[in-house]
Amino acid sequence: MAKSLLVISRQAPWSGLGAREALDLVLAGGAFDLPISLLFLDDGVFQLLPEQKPEALQQKDVTANLAALPLFGVEQLYAARTDLVQRGLGESQLALESVRILEDGALADLINRHDQVMTF
């Protein structure tokens, strides 16, 4: 059986390459049909903010790549409720619909359900 990988994405989308390179790893895993999950944590939840305008910074739209996740078979998507609330993000307005919102108490279990974990 294939080993599962949880990628934890903690960086805001336009603060460098962290968010982008985390997502690239997830998409590559999806392309190989591997069981791969993605958790948005801390400032990583800002990737889920709708209607961002990265072209103002001459950046490519990471949000568009997020939309590709289900197409690559990556359906285990999670975000931490504490971080959404703390950062003023409404759960109904997230850029990605299929994200499951987790309480802090469920995060340890999420990690421990996976064979390997990588944080960005």
Q: CA–CA separation, 11 vs 105, rounded Å?
A: 21
H/E stretch holding 116 reads strand 116-119
Give whole-number Cα distances, 73 to 1, 93, 103, in Å.
17, 23, 25
Binding pattern for the stretch 41-80 against another protein, x by CB under 8 A and - elsewhere: xx--------------------------------------
Token duo for residue 84: 């959404």
The CB-of-54 to another protein minimum distance in angstroms stands at 17
The CB-of-29 to another protein minimum distance in angstroms stands at 5
Residue 112 interacting with another protein (CB under 8 A): yes
Would you say the C-alpha torsion 18, 21, 27, 33 has a positive or negative sign? Answer: negative
- CB atoms under 10 Å from CB of 67, counted, come to 12
Selected from 12, 29, 46, 99, the binder of another protein by CB under 8 A is 29
Binding site for another protein (CB under 8 A): 2-3, 5, 8, 10, 17-18, 21, 24-25, 28-29, 31-32, 34, 41-42, 82, 104, 107-109, 111-120
